């Protein structure tokens, strides 16, 4: 897909099922490496990042079979522990394989990860945590990272910041380490909880799941298991923003309201009528969004992954709103593209001040990153005329079928082909 084209100002009305969680499935795929047997993951989204992780695992010797949304990983025979550079630089989430391969083989090699350009995103906490379990880590020429340990041993890891990736890496390394590992200042995101529950199903012994202090008792062996991934809370949040931008109503089946409490609180303040049910979330919006002031934060705060869609909502709000980005300094890259659509956004360091303008103006814009691309879809639904979004390979990394889902809710949206690239979207 080379682009997305949207005809805005059409209220939404429909129902969609939210895809499986990208941020839960990727570390689960890494966890499968710990077991010399078979792991089955269900509700796996068919997105580019999942395909990339399958390619990585296959290159290491795993046998992977993805049928519909069921992924079977046979990790009984792994022939290498050095992750190919071309895969690592394409996807940041591959860094969690460092802890997984250390836990399985006592050694691993990778490179500094790539992915979206949303800030420096250092991995110092990852390396610190693994070092606390006895891994000897060397940073080599060309950005290569090598880690080895004769036998990982439990230890106390104190994180000064609740890094999701670092918490995942230490969890994966600790599962088969000798003794007890105590992780203090652990990330509490729902994806961490899902990873722990999956590991428990494999035979891991973990306590304090979902808390700031997590304790892992090392085990010698794991077992075959199956686990169903939860719905993607970031995709659900994006679709909620779409309905609020376009107006109308929708039912998001599979969206877990318990994972979105902080987000739903903000969206209700902005005027959305949101009803939660055990099987999903209903949303109705009949007016322009109200302005809010929001600060991103680790869970249970407002997630940085939904800051860009929120910026699009504020761009059409009835008043002035503000966003403080406290997690990634590069998250405001979307602002420049929204300005092309007529948005009034002023940036001051990690703060964005937005004066709502309605409607926005359809034009050609470029997705700067995964969530920024999704935010431009949100904005396009509230824009007069035609919006053409290019650079949509970013969106494919996290959204299985954003066009199909929104079309099911009544949006006039389509994928653009290479032949359409000459048009400017206006």
CA distance 406 to 398: 15
Burial track 110-122 (b if 16+ CB lie within 10 A, e otherwise) = bbbbbbbebeebe
CA distance 221 to 175: 9
- For residue 178, the 8-state DSSP code is B
CA distance 322 to 148: 46
**In which region does residue 142 sit, left (phi positive, over 0), alpha (psi from -120 to 50) or beta (all else)?**
left
CA distances to 162, 186, 302, 362, 384 from 211, in Å? 11, 7, 18, 45, 46
Does the bond joining 166 to the residue before it have cis omega, within 30 degrees of 0? no
CA distances to 60, 120, 237, 272 from 262, in Å? 39, 26, 11, 14
CA distance 76 to 192: 25
Give the residue numbers annotated as catalytic, written as ranges.
116
CA distance 42 to 67: 10
């Amino acid at each position: 897909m080379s682009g997305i084209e949207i005809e805005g100002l059409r209220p939404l009305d429909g129902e969609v099922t939210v895809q499986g969680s990208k941020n839960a499935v990727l570390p689960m795929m890494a966890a499968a490496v710990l077991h010399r047997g078979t792991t089955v993951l269900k509700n796996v989204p068919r997105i580019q990042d999942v395909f990339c992780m399958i390619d990585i695992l296959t290159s290491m010797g795993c046998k992977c079979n993805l049928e519909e949304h069921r992924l079977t990983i046979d990790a009984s025979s792994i022939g290498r522990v050095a992750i190919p550079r071309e895969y690592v630089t394409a996807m940041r989430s591959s860094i969690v394989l460092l802890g997984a391969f250390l836990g399985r083989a006592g050694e691993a090699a990778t490179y500094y990860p790539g992915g979206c350009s949303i800030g420096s995103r250092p991995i110092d906490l990852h390396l610190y945590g693994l070092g606390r379990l006895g891994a000897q880590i060397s940073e080599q020429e060309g950005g290569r990272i090598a880690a080895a340990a004769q036998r990982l041993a439990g230890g106390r890891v104190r994180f000064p910041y609740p890094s999701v990736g670092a918490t995942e890496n230490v969890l994966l390394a600790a599962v088969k380490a000798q003794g007890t590992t105590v992780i203090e200042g652990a990330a509490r995101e729902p994806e961490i909880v899902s990873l722990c529950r999956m590991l428990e199903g494999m035979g891991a012994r973990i306590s304090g799941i979902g808390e700031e202090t997590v304790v892992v008792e090392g085990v010698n062996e794991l077992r075959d298991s199956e686990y169903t991934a939860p719905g993607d809370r970031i995709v659900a949040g994006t679709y909620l923003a779409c309905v609020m931008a376009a107006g109308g109503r929708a039912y998001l089946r599979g969206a877990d309201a318990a994972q979105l409490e902080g987000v739903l609180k903000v969206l209700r303040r902005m005027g959305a009528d949101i009803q939660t049910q055990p099987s999903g979330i209903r949303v109705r919006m009949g007016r322009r969004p109200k302005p809010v002031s929001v600060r991103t934060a680790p869970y249970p705060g407002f997630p940085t992954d939904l800051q860009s869609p929120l910026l699009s909502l504020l761009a059409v709000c009835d008043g002035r709103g503000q966003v403080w980005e406290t997690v990634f300094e590069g998250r405001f890259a979307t602002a420049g593209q929204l300005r092309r659509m007529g948005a009034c956004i002023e940036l001051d360091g990690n703060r964005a001040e937005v004066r709502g303008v309605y409607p926005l103006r359809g034009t050609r814009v470029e997705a700067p990153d995964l969530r920024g691309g999704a935010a431009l879809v949100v904005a396009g639904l509230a824009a007069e005329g035609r919006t053409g979004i290019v650079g949509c390979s970013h969106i494919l990394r996290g959204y299985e079928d954003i066009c199909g889902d929104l079309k099911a809710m009544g949006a006039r949206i389509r994928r653009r082909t290479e032949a359409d690239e000459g048009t400017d979207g206006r």
